[in-house]
Amino acid sequence: MSPHENRPREDGLPEDPQDMKLMIHALVDGELDAAAALAVERRMAADPELAAEHARLVALSGAVANVPRPTVSDDFLARIAAIATVKDPEEAEVAQAESVKAEASVQRQQQGKVIEMRPRASRWFNSFDWRQMAASIVLTAFLASGVTQWLTTADNGSDSFAVAVANGHRRSLLAATPVDIFSSDRHTVKPWLDGRIGVSPAAPDMAKDGYALLGGRVEVIGDRPMPALVYRHHEHLITLVAAPRQNEAKSVPVADDLSAGGFLLVHWTDDAFSYWAISDAERPALDDFVARFRAAIIANPAAGSPG
Amino acid sequence: MAGAPDGGTVLSEKMLAARFAEVVLPHLGDALSLARWLTGNQADAEDVVQEACLKAHAGIAGFAGGNARAWLLTIVRNASYTWMARNRSRSVVAVGDLADLDDVSPPPDNDADSPEAALIAKANSAAVEAAIARLPQAFRETLVLRDINGLSYREIAAMLGVPQGTVMSRLARARGLLMTELGGRHEPA
């Protein structure tokens, strides 16, 4: 393939007519890069037989494209969608409303009001606007207990963070490469992150445990750039976002299992960072990864200081 | 919170349902197309796709990102062959030794006139469908994955477990047969 005397035209295309035909197919299929496509088009311009083959292929792909596709009937779509339906969402919301009601009923100050509403509640459920009722009970609970409200706010905060982590992970799976810096060496990954955003977590390569360090990238979550490490476990990628701890952030010393956006997450904190591990791997694999990562950091704490 | 065992399972089921809706449902049309061409008819295709979707749902946790359509179609293809092995006589299913098919050298292509292209373009859908249906299984499968499902050579090669060169030669053979038939060079009896 390499010697020039075998390739008089030097355009990198095969001389064998059958192989050259495959190139025409590849051109029609959009499988060629611009340089190869240009070379094939030049060959076609010089060779009427190739041009005719190209014309036939274009005609054929048009003809095949016109073959009617099976339609997805509403009935069929509903049948397939039902496979994944675990619980009637209406039912779930009602259950949620019930628990809100239970919570509200223990609020001592507003107790009278809540009980007064009960007889009407069942009628509302059956008729139309039970949501409105649920909302009014939530309002009652809010007025009665500020503490509950604070907790709710904190949870919402971490939920949206988890969603942001999930979105970042999803984007990385779709991108050409899931990492900005490709290296299994923490002595490469850490300085790179330090140089970009001035902060980097410990980045142990745990290839011997089945979690190979693939590299790192920068995630921007809630206006703040933060370091993310990417590990490979079999065919799955694990993104580990390490958000520098802030004073007000609550401590989560024991790993907390979460999920967001169709991915599993594990969240925990140490002195320096708030960690979010996310993956499409199975829960046991993700938990195992987290356990090993934490053990690796403890074994070598010097590598984990921010900055 | 999410640590409670009950809350955990509900959450993960919900999550899997969301993932299923995102990964599987948008590609049902392609799934039906492939199953229809592999099994040969629409009613069977729905059964096969439903079976494949059950498998996809069970295995959704194993979806590692990437092209969801290619992932689903791989499952549909496997389900189609499993289904045919169970419901059809062996003669229909017999894929044969694919190596034999790949070794067949293409027919000589002597007269390459452009009127042929016009004939092919004018061929009606029924004729095209019939011609595709008559292709040998391995060629038909490759052609459908490329020209109807729109997968890339690389994705098809990964799905079929063959080199890209084999995908290319099967595709060329499949198209050659279609063009011969639709272009009216050797009108079948």
For every one of its 307 residues, what pLDDT tens digit does chain A have, with 9 covering 90 and above? 444 444 455 778 888 888 899 999 999 998 888 888 889 999 999 999 999 999 999 999 889 988 888 888 888 998 898 888 754 445 445 445 544 544 444 444 444 444 444 444 444 444 445 555 555 555 555 555 544 444 444 444 567 888 888 888 888 888 777 888 887 777 778 888 887 788 888 888 888 888 988 889 988 888 788 899 999 988 888 999 998 887 666 777 777 888 887 888 998 888 888 899 999 888 888 999 999 998 888 887 655 444 3
CB A234 within 8 A of CB A271: no
Q: How far apart are the first and last CA of chain B?
A: 72
- Closest to B116 measured CA to CA, from A49, A42, A24: A49
Please, which residues 54-83 of chain A have a Cβ atom closer than 8 Å to chain B? 55-72, 76-77, 79-81, 83
- Closest to B51 measured CA to CA, from B27, B82, B21, B8: B82
Establish if B113 touches chain A: CB-CB under 8 angstroms.
yes
Search chain B and give the residue with CA nearest A170.
B65
CB A56 to CB B117 under 8 A? yes
CB A18 to CB B116 under 8 A? no
To test the contact with chain B by mutation, choose from A47, A57, A80, A161 the residue with the greatest count of B C-beta atoms within 10 A, namely A80
How many angstroms away from the CA of A33 is the closest CA of chain B?
13
CB A262 to CB B18 under 8 A? yes
Beta bridge partners of A256: A267
To test the contact with chain B by mutation, choose from A64, A239, A268 the residue with the greatest count of B C-beta atoms within 10 A, namely A64
Higher pLDDT: A35 or B141? It is B141
Chain B positions in Cβ-Cβ contact with residue A48 (cut-off 8 Å):
112
Side by side, the strands of the sheet bearing A236-244 are A181-182, A212-221, A224-233, A236-244, A273-279, A263-269, A256-260
Search chain A and give the residue with CA nearest B12.
A259
CB B53 to CB A63 under 8 A? no
Return the percentage of chain B with pLDDT > 70, whole number: 77
Please state the separation of Cα A117 from the chain's center in Å.
43
pLDDT level of residue B3 (50, 70, 90 thresholds): very low
pLDDT at A129: 54
Cβ–Cβ pairs < 8 A, chains A and B? 156
SS (H, E, C) A139-151: HHHHHHCHHHHHH
Search chain A and give the residue with CA nearest B4.
A257
Mean pLDDT over B130-140 rounds to 92
pLDDT at A256: 81
pLDDT at B163: 92
Beta-carbon contacts of residue A75 (< 8 Å; ≥ 6 apart): none
Q: What is the DSSP string of A153-208?
A: HHHHHHHHHHHHHHHHHHHHHHSS-S-SEE-S-HHHHHHHHHHHHS-------BGG
pLDDT level of residue B91 (50, 70, 90 thresholds): very low
pLDDT level of residue B177 (50, 70, 90 thresholds): very high
CB B36 to CB A70 under 8 A? yes
Mean pLDDT over B9-22 rounds to 73
Residue A59 CA to residue A159 CA, distance in Å, equals 53
CB A257 to CB B3 under 8 A? yes
pLDDT at A131: 58
Residue A79 CA to residue B163 CA, distance in Å, equals 37
Number of C-alpha atoms within 13 angstroms, CB side, residue A83? Answer: 23
CB B120 to CB A261 under 8 A? no
Mean pLDDT over B127-143 rounds to 92
To test the contact with chain B by mutation, choose from A23, A56, A86 the residue with the greatest count of B C-beta atoms within 10 A, namely A56
Please, which residues 54-93 of chain B have a Cβ atom closer than 8 Å to chain A? 54, 57, 61, 63-66
pLDDT at A224: 83
Higher pLDDT: A302 or B117? It is B117
Please, which residues 16-45 of chain A have a Cβ atom closer than 8 Å to chain B? 18, 21-22, 25-26, 29, 31
Mean pLDDT over B3-29 rounds to 71
Nearest by CB to B54, from A31, A83, A263: name it: A83
Q: What's the mean per-residue pLDDT of chain B?
A: 79
Please, which residues 123-162 of chain B have a Cβ atom closer than 8 Å to chain A? 123, 125, 128-129, 132, 143, 146-148, 152-153
CB A85 to CB B147 under 8 A? no
Is the four-CA dihedral A291, A292, A293, A295 of positive or negative sign? positive
Mean pLDDT over B61-89 rounds to 85
| pLDDT tens digit sequence for B23-58 | 888 899 999 999 999 988 888 899 999 999 998 988
Chain A positions in Cβ-Cβ contact with residue B183 (cut-off 8 Å):
56
pLDDT at B45: 92
CB A282 within 8 A of CB A288: no
